[in-house]
């Protein structure tokens, strides 16, 4: 499987295995069960560490990575519509739902 890695400093495809994200939630101060999930496009990796945290910049990084991975423009528009349908937390959650974020 080919994993596409994109960041401003490294935008070349590289090999690798798809990663599974883990999420932790706290409910009334207690640790909830750790849930494992795979993004819609686990082959597409976007590095956000060290990047501008502006929501529109993050959406642009993910959109560019999806485009470079050959994702259909209609799908990319669907991602952008979902990402912009809420607040900043929604942007991050949507990005994690669609691609592998590191």
Query: Which whole-number Å values give the CA distances from 85 to 3, 28, 82, in the listed order?
Result: 28, 27, 5
What is the per-residue pLDDT across 48-94, written as a single tens digit (0 to 9) for each?
Answer: 988 889 999 999 999 999 999 999 999 999 999 999 999 999 999 99
Which of the two residues, 1 and 52, has the higher pLDDT score? 52
Side-chain-side CA neighbours of residue 97 (13 Å): 12
Looking at residue 6, what is its pLDDT?
42
The reported pTM is: 0.66
What is the per-residue pLDDT across 32-60, written as a single tens digit (0 to 9) for each?
Answer: 333 457 899 999 999 998 888 999 999 99
Looking at residue 15, what is its pLDDT?
35
């Amino acid at each position: 499987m080919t994993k596409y890695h994109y960041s401003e400093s490294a935008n070349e495809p590289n090999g690798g295995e798809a990663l599974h994200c883990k999420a932790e939630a706290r409910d009334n101060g207690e640790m909830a069960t750790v849930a494992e999930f795979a993004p819609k496009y686990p082959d597409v990796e976007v590095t956000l560490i060290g990047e501008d945290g502006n929501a529109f910049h993050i959406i642009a990084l993910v959109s560019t990575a999806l485009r470079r991975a050959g994702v259909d423009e209609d799908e990319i528009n669907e991602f952008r519509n979902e990402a912009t349908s809420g607040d900043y937390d929604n942007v991050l959650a949507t990005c994690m739902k669609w691609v592998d974020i590191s």
